Amino acid sequence: MVRIIKFIYQTQPVKADIILEEVDQISDYQVIHTPGHTPGSICLYNPNNKVIFVGDNLNYSKDKIEGPSILDDQEAFKKSIKKLGEFGY
């Protein structure tokens, strides 16, 4: 599916200014590497107030939380969701 979309839209990748790793901190937020939707997906977690930003790794629709409709790697996504569960979500 990802290959078809890339072919149809023929987008060009954007080079990242900074590559964030699992051990990195951004202010009070720790980086959590959550591949699956894309290989470089991350979430940001603030342990002080227990807030987590999941970006488009998860969606809330019709009273339930779901994963994205397009996954780069389904097994990696399952592991990432399990990892997020360890934070109490």
Task: Tell me how many degrees the CA angle 44-48-54 measures, rounded to the nearest 5.
Answer: 20
Overall number of domains in the chain: 1
Structural domain for 76, as ranges: 20-85
Task: Give whole-number Cα distances, 83 to 5, 24, 51, 76, 80, in Å.
Answer: 28, 17, 15, 10, 5
Half-sphere exposure of 29 (CA within 13 A, CB side): 14
d(CA 88, CA 76): 19
Indicate the pTM of the whole model. 0.75
Specify the pLDDT at position 34.
94
* Per-residue pLDDT of the chain in tens (89 residues, 90 and over written 9): 777 877 788 777 788 899 999 989 999 999 999 999 888 899 999 999 999 999 988 988 899 988 888 888 999 999 999 999 888 75
Q: Is 42 within a domain?
A: yes
pLDDT at 13: 76
In a domain, 76, yes or no: yes
**43 occurs within a structural domain:** yes
Position 40 in a domain = yes
Q: For residue 3, is it within any domain?
A: no
Domain-embedded: residue 15 = no
8 A C-beta contact, residue 46 and residue 83: no
Domain contains 24? yes
